[in-house]
Amino acid sequence: MQFAVIATGGKQYTVSRGDVIAIEKLSGTHKEGDKVTFDKVLLIDDGKDTTIGAPYIPKASVAGTITEIGRAPKITVVHYKQKSRYYKKNGHRQPFFKVKIDSLK
């Protein structure tokens, strides 16, 4: 089974063909159904031999399709300092893309 390790959004993901991963929102304007290419490939394994980049593998790429654009559930952020009447409460929803991996090259 062929797999690769890619870097996007400050994180690393192990992917193979057909996987669906949730990644950080990509810059630019994107919509569902768009094709995306990940050029920062750190490792490729095809079952027989492994290629490791230093830090990336030149001419290697992973292609995928955006299947969903959404926002994660809300988390509550509270800042509090005792005895000083300081209290702040905010909510945050992190945007994400769900990407289906089409091919490893």
Number of domains in the chain: 1
pLDDT at 15: 93
Which percentage of the chain shows pLDDT scores above 90?
77
Domain carrying residue 98? 3-104
Stretch 74-80: mean pLDDT: 97
Q: Which pTM value belongs to this model?
A: 0.82
d(Cα 57, Cα 72) in Å, to the nearest integer? 32
d(Cα 93, Cα 69) in Å, to the nearest integer? 13
Please say whether the dihedral angle defined by the alpha carbons of residues 19, 21, 27 and 30, taken in this order, is positive or negative: positive
- The per-residue pLDDT for range 1-46, each reduced to its tens digit, is 799 999 998 999 999 999 999 999 999 899 999 999 999 999 999 8
pLDDT category of residue 105 using cuts at 50, 70 and 90: confident
Stretch 77-93: mean pLDDT: 97
In 3-state terms the chain splits into helix, strand, coil percentages (rounded to 5) of: 0, 60, 40
Stretch 39-58: mean pLDDT: 90
User: What integer best gives the mean pLDDT of the chain?
Assistant: 93
